[in-house]
Amino acid sequence: MTSQDSADWSAEQIGQFIEGLATAPGGDEGFKFGDPQASVTGVLVCWMTTLEALQQAAAEGCDMIICHEQMDYPYSFRASGAENYLTWTVNRRRISQLVQHGLIVYRAHGMLDHFCILDDFGKLLGLGEPVVSEELFRVYDMPPQSVAELVEEVKRCMGMRHLRVVCRDPERMVKRPGLPWGGLGLSLNVGYIERLLRYHPDVLIAGESDEYAMFYALDADIPLIETSHVASENYGLRHFAEHLAANFPGLKVIFHECPVPWEAR
């Protein structure tokens, strides 16, 4: 990018930059709220437009939010039937904040998965270079270790005290992890898991999973370690925020780290 006064950056310019990073935007991506032609002096990057993220954007003087996940429930504002769910409690509260603070929202989902999020999950786990890197499939080689040992290493890398583990024998030796990051360990994405298994991983380190997918892993006879959807993607989103700041001189860029929403007691 060429240097210019930060007040001259428009939301549309920022959106065009994102769309040139890796792959064309999907149907769920793009501007979701606000005026794309408006000038932008501050951007907040976050996993989801939670109330905490919206409040930080306002407090930091940001006028644009780039989120990875959808900003509303259950789908985009541009979908038909919006009148049926815009008054849902969370949607109403989020919209109120967006209007009150004059915020623009741009969703970058698959584009950022391709650009950095998936590969950054492997880096966060200390797995080195993948031996399989095709489309959105990543498989790695590592020194043989038991599932129990790998769980402890994943905890250390993720900074998490507790993980959910699907494995009949924790002493089983593994050496070829595959990464269904984000929400690709969920049952609604079990087709992705099946395609990943064709690359012959012997353990899966996932973002978010659920019991339907866990039974799939059990019957497929492959251990599955669940970390967290948001935790598996925050590292890559921070990377993206740094990249955005480096390419837009004078633009204030803030990364809001959405926390893991649950705790084990």
CATH of residue 247: 3.40.1390.30
Q: Is residue 132 part of a domain?
A: yes
Residue 248 and residue 223 share a domain:
no
The answer to which of 5-9, 29-33, 76-80 has the lowest mean pLDDT is 76-80
Distance in angstroms (rounded) separating the CA atoms of residues 225 and 203: 8
- Give residue 217's domain range: 112-231
Residue 56 and residue 139 share a domain:
no
Q: Is residue 99 part of a domain?
A: yes
Q: Is residue 17 part of a domain?
A: yes
- The token duo for 118 is 């998936």
Residue 248 and residue 158 share a domain:
no
Residue 71 and residue 118 share a domain:
no
Distance in angstroms (rounded) separating the CA atoms of residues 63 and 54: 10
pTM summary value:
0.94
Percent of the chain's residues with pLDDT above 90: 90
pLDDT at 7 over 90: no
Residues 6+ apart with CB under 8 A from 97: 51, 54, 55, 58, 103
Question: What pLDDT, in 10s, does the model give residues 184-235?
Answer: 999 999 999 999 999 999 999 999 999 999 999 999 999 999 999 999 999 9
Residue 157 and residue 91 share a domain:
no
> What DSSP state is assigned to residue 189?
G
Distance in angstroms (rounded) separating the CA atoms of residues 206 and 208: 6
Q: Is the omega angle on the peptide bond into residue 74 within 30 degrees of 0, that is, cis?
A: yes
Q: Is residue 80 part of a domain?
A: yes
Tally of structural domains, the chain: 2
Q: pLDDT-derived band of residue 8, with 50, 70 and 90 as boundaries? A: confident
User: Do 257 and 234 meet the contact criterion of CB atoms below 8 Å apart?
Assistant: yes
Residue 198 and residue 153 share a domain:
yes
User: Do 46 and 21 meet the contact criterion of CB atoms below 8 Å apart?
Assistant: no
Encode burial over 170-209: b for 16+ CB neighbours within 10 A, e otherwise.
eebebebbbbbbbbbbbeebbebbeebeeeebbbbbbbbb
pLDDT at 18 over 90: yes
